[in-house]
Chains A and B, each alone.
Chain A
Amino acid sequence: MQLNDRLTGSRFLRGVNIVGGVTVNLWPYHLAEIMDELDEIEKDFSELTQILFNNASLTDRLETTGVLTERTAWDHGVMGVAGRASNIDRDVRRDHPFAAYKDLRFKVPLYRYGDVRARMRVRIDEVHESLSLIRQVGKRMPDGTISMPVSHVPPAGEWALSAVEGWRGEILYFIMAGPDGTIHRCKVRDPSFVNWPAIQFAVLGNIIPDFPLINKSFNLSYAGNDL
């Protein structure tokens, strides 16, 4: 986040994406700074995963805890990290590529067991995939203008639907234009809405102290459920 602040002036990258492009240009020295930081993060992260995987008591706690079977996951349409830990091979970035994803190479981590450890391993693998994606993008950053003026005003009633792979899973956005370029209707479908019902199947037969562990291994949003 300190890197975000240095590059764009906002720790949350606010005001970077605008209609028609982006507001901040990345110069080669910015990219060099990002790459250096990434190398450091990867080294640090690898050391931490080493510690995690060598800890027998942690493995004992995580393995076979909160198993979500592939069948249940499929029936509920579980997506994102929780789905990929239960062998549901879906990723919008690969299946319906948007932005530059069709030109980038990345693996979608997949595990069969559906326990807390599988979800943790999906997350760890995704960190490495994300680092590799940022490196690929950095190498192939095209030159040119960073944003284009947009003059099209959608007529009232025109609508659009978009699917983006967020870190929890697939986020759907539906938006409908109103008169005079206003927004008439907007609906967000957060992956939390789909994944919450699956937790009640994952916790069955587990001891009470494992409930927070299982709950957090799904890492769902309470607010995302109501969007």
Chain B
Amino acid sequence: MFRILKKSLKTGIVTGRHPKAPEGEAGATPAAGQKARPFRRSLTIREVDTGSCNACEMEMNALMNPVYDAERFGVHVAASPRHADALVVTGPVAVNMEKALKDAYRATPDPKLVIALGDCACDCGMFKGSYGVTGPVERHVPVDMKVRGCPPRPAEILQALQRLQGRND
């Protein structure tokens, strides 16, 4: 018991101890800022994996850890698209995941945002032209924002989300 307390006290606060994201161009559509206005203070996201390699998922996980701590900006992750304001889609949309993506999109209540995370979701990345993928996320559902990178660093995802919420700090 005392060991745990001692460890926590000694470690202190690690939030924000990460390298800064390079200033990238915003991959958002012009209408995205207007659409994101209701979610300025609270944004609940649902992760949709359409056949990614899990690297983007690991970075999304890292976003919720004490170092990056996206919850301090009101970003939560929900376990169902019905509870979500935004879908974060990763992966190049594999044939078998096309229906799941469309179902998740339909299940998300309006108004909703779709964020394509990673090179695969933006333009199929290295899987472009493969028989197993059915084109980038844009082909199936309207995308409001693209975050590029393979995978994008957590700091970059955090920056993109803050931009979307209209926080420019």
A interface, CB within 8 angstroms of B: 1-2, 5-6, 11-12, 14, 47-48, 50-51, 54, 223
**In the complex the two chains form, what is the Cα distance from A58 to B7 in whole Å?**
18
**In the complex the two chains form, what is the Cα distance from A51 to B8 in whole Å?**
12
| Known A-B contacts A2-B18, A12-B55; A51 and B151 likewise in contact (beta carbons under 8 Å) | no
Distance between B148 CB and nearest chain A CB, rounded to angstroms: 14
Asked if B151 contacts A48 (CB within 8 A), the reply is no
| Known A-B contacts A5-B153, A12-B151, A14-B150; A51 and B19 likewise in contact (beta carbons under 8 Å) | no
**In the complex the two chains form, what is the Cα distance from A11 to B3 in whole Å?**
32
Distance between A198 CB and nearest chain B CB, rounded to angstroms: 23
Asked if A50 contacts B151 (CB within 8 A), the reply is no
A contact patch SS: helix
Asked if B150 contacts A51 (CB within 8 A), the reply is no
Q: Chain B residues near A5: list those with CB within 8 A.
A: 19, 153
Q: Chain A residues near B151: list those with CB within 8 A.
A: 11-12
Is residue B4 within 8 Å, beta carbon to beta carbon, of the partner chain? yes
Q: Chain B residues near A48: list those with CB within 8 A.
A: 7
Q: How many residues of B contact A (CB 8 A)?
A: 12
Nearest chain A residue, comparing its CB with the CB of B154: A11
Which of B3, B19, B62 lies in contact with A54, CB distance below 8 A?
B3
Q: Chain B residues near A1: list those with CB within 8 A.
A: 62
Q: Which of B39-53 contact A (CB under 8 A)?
A: none
21 A-B pairs within 8 Å (CB atoms) are namely A1-B62, A2-B18, A2-B19, A5-B19, A5-B153, A6-B19, A11-B59, A11-B151, A11-B153, A12-B55, A12-B151, A14-B150, A47-B3, A47-B7, A48-B7, A50-B3, A51-B3, A51-B4, A51-B7, A54-B3, A223-B54
**In the complex the two chains form, what is the Cα distance from A120 to B62 in whole Å?**
23
Q: Chain B residues near A6: list those with CB within 8 A.
A: 19
Nearest chain A residue, comparing its CB with the CB of B18: A2
Nearest chain B residue, comparing its CB with the CB of A223: B54
**In the complex the two chains form, what is the Cα distance from A48 to B59 in whole Å?**
24
Q: Mark B134-169, 1 if CB is under 8 A from A, else 0.
A: 000000000000000011010000000000000000
Distance between B72 CB and nearest chain A CB, rounded to angstroms: 19
Q: Chain B residues near A14: list those with CB within 8 A.
A: 150
